[in-house]
Structure 1
Amino acid sequence: MSKVKYYYDSENLAYRKIKTKKTKKFGFFMLFLLASALFGFLSFVILLNTPYFETPKDRLQAREIDNLKLNYSILNKKIDELNAVAAAIEERDNTIYRTYFNTAPISDEERKSGMKSKNRYAELEGYDNSKLVQKTTQRIDILTKALAVQSKSLDEIVQLAKAKNNLLSAIPAIQPVKNENLKRIASGYGYRSDPFTKARKMHEGMDFTAKTGTPIYATGDGVVARADNTASGFGNHIVIRHGYGYQTLYAHLSKYKARRGQKVKRGDIIGYVGSTGRSEAPHLHYEVHKNNRVVNPLNFYYGNISAVEYVAISKLANQENQSLD
């Protein structure tokens, strides 16, 4: 029971009960309810933010977060493995493939350019695990960029390889007359005695002595640039442009089997041995030109002769004798 309060009435010389107004009672009651509600709300908020009070939804979210952290950890391990594989490919690309094709290696800065922007991952900030998500995302981006650069590099290597194959096919690499059809190598590259004037002068090719009508073979892939007899001294002759600075000349032919503008492959028959033009006997005069300079054809017979045959031909070709043209 609540205490009854009195007051002294001096006029009537008596004690009287203090009566509380109903509105005041109601105000006190509402104030009590408001204070109770506020206290309850604050207590609820405090409990929600303590580890001692978890709802089923909170426990589910916590498990999902732990699961995501585990997945990110596994993902980072896989990224480590992929980075190791990518690094090995990059190493071979720079030190083997590009070295072989005489191409400059790709620098690390070029492979990883554009990956260090400060604002690149701004949308991932402000979360409990932002650093983990940002770091993993950045590592994936760096790996993706490296793979894209490497893919482009390998495409370039493929093109270089195709060009290399074309180069190897274009280089004059065989004898224009087969050994079994040769009588002898009459004269090689260098200063020789002219058969008509007997003066010593530069002989810019090699003379292969063979019977008239012996097949002559293209020594590399190319296009026939000339097949006529308008050049002084060469008689019927063929010029093949191989590309990459290479050009070959075949002179004193008896007849042609190739025409101007025709594409030929190494080993194709392009004509036959003869003695047209300024020639003393049936033979093929053969020249190799590199970047508009005459070079020794002896250096280009590695495609169809053995080391022993090369030594024998070299000895014959280097003898200072009389040429046949």
Structure 2
Amino acid sequence: MSKVKYYYDSETLSYRKIERKKGRKLGYALLGITASFLAGFLLLLVYLNLPQIETPKEKAMKRELQNMKLQYEVLNKKMTQAQKVLAEVENRDNNIYRVYFEANPIPEEQRKAGFGGINRYKDLEGYDNSKLIVETSKRLDVLQKQIVVQSKSLDEIANLAEEKEKLLTAIPAIQPVKNENLNRMASGYGMRMHPILKYRKMHNGMDFSAPTGSEVYATGDAVVKKAQRTTGFGNLIVLDHGFGYETYYAHLSDFKVRKGEKVKRGEVIGEVGSTGLSTAPHLHYEVHKNGKVVNPINFYHGDLTAEEYDIMLNQSALENQSLD
């Protein structure tokens, strides 16, 4: 309640109440409203020109933005580290694994190729931090593609390794008759005088002279393709090693395997004999590669020392008479 004010009237010698005029009250009211508006406007100008003054919501959003930038920086560092590790794997893949397994290296352009076509990152543009987000997204996409390419490459290498292991166990690699059972290495690969036909002809294998009944061994993992009596070779076993390799074991006195049976390198498959066109007990041994006869002297690395191999090499080169 506002105070009532009085004044002294000298004419009436009494106190009179001071009455406010209605127009003045309205003027005061308008003045107050105007002053409030101006004060508010001035405060707004001050607020807009002082960026350090932030609302709690703005402060929270600013903290969230800073945290986002920090997370993107951490993500980029992790991607950089991942790319270094992947580059080392790619280097070993191209220069070790693929060289060993005789596979073509993967071109660098294929490993690090970008993505063509439409703009994949259009939705990420138009913001204050679009550049950071787009560049990070691009790096992540390229890294993911590199990982996919390398994963497929390692799958291929694993398959090649499995095939290589099978090849190493299948390829002929040992003597078909043990040294302790050998009388001599009677004849090698090349032109030789045939003991029965009495003319020079190609001798497609090697003759190992040994007592009748001496054990004959499979020279590599294989499947028995033939185990039968023939005219020229007498009792003959043919092993299919896969990868284009076959081996022939002729003039046997006995079979220890049957057609279709799987055998391992070093497994006994028959016994030395003198069946067919043969003049003495021996094993006639041949190696075929992709349907063509090759010199067996190249396939004894699995059980001969360098000295033993050198002796056999010299003996096989002699143009003596073959035993079949």
Question: What is the TM-score when the length of structure 2 is the normalising length?
Answer: 0.85
Structure 1 gap ranges (5+): 1-21
User: For residues 281 and 42 of structure 1, what CA distance do their matches in structure 2 show?
Assistant: 124
Q: How does 1:140-289 map to 2 (within 5 A)?
A: 140-230=140-230, 232-289=231-288
Matched, 1:71 2:97: no
- 2:255 maps to a residue whose letter is Y
Displacement, 1:35? 12
Which amino acid in the other structure matches residue 190 of structure 2?
A: G
Deviation at 1:140, TM superposition (A): 1.4
Question: 2:157 & 2:127 partners in 1: Cα distance?
Answer: 44
Look up the equivalent residue of 1:292 and give its one-letter code. Answer: G
CA apart distance, 1:168? 1.2
What does residue 103 of structure 2 align with? 103
- How far is 1:111 from its partner? 2.1
Gap regions ≥5 residues in structure 2: 1-22
Partners of 1:48 and 1:54 within 8 A in 2: no
Which residue number corresponds to residue 297 of structure 1?
Answer: 296
Question: 2:309 is aligned with what amino acid?
Answer: Y
CA shift at 1:290, angstroms? 0.8
Distance 1:34 1:227, change over 3 A: farther
Q: Secondary structure at the match of 2:191?
A: strand
1:287, distance to aligned residue in structure 2 (A) = 0.4
- Cα RMSD between the aligned structures? 2.5
- Aligned-residue identity in percent: 58
Local SS of the residue matching 2:274: coil
Measured after TM superposition, the shift of residue 227 of structure 1 is: 0.5
CA gap 1:54/1:110 in 2 versus in 1, 3 angstroms: same
* Residue type of the alignment partner of 1:72: Y
- Count of equivalent residues: 299
Q: Is the 8 A contact 1:193 1:322 kept in 2?
A: yes
State the Cα distance separating 1:296 from its structure 2 match.
Answer: 0.6
Amino acid paired to 1:317: S
1:166 counterpart SS class: helix
Tell me the SS of whatever aligns to 2:227: strand
Return the letter of the residue paired with 1:85: V
> Any conservation in 2 of the 1:115–1:138 contact (CA below 8 Å)?
no
Aligned to 2:310: 311
Q: Secondary structure at the match of 2:197?
A: coil
Equivalent position SS for 2:319: coil
Give CA-to-partner distance per residue, 1:34-76, whole Å, 9 cap, x none.
9986995797488357514211221222222222212222221
CA gap of 1:258–1:115, structure 2 versus 1, over 3 A, is same
CA drift of 1:183 comes to 0.8
Matched AA of 1:153: S
Separation (CA, whole Å) in 2 of partners of 1:49 and 1:119: 39
- Take 2:303 and 2:196, find their aligned partners in 1: how far apart are those partners? 33
Superposed CA deviations along residues 218-266 of structure 1, whole A, max 9, x for unmatched, are 1111111111013x31000000111111111000000100111111111
Q: 2:18 maps to what in 1?
A: none
Q: Which moved more, 1:139-148 or 1:105-114?
A: 105-114
- Decide whether aligned partners of structure 1 residues 70 and 194 sit closer, same or farther in structure 2, where only a CA change above 3 A counts: same
Q: Write the deviation string for residues 174-204 of structure 1: whole angstroms up to 9, x where unpaired.
A: 1100111111111111111111132111111
Deviates more, 1:55-64 or 1:144-153: 55-64
User: 39-48 or 58-67, which moves further after superposition?
Assistant: 39-48
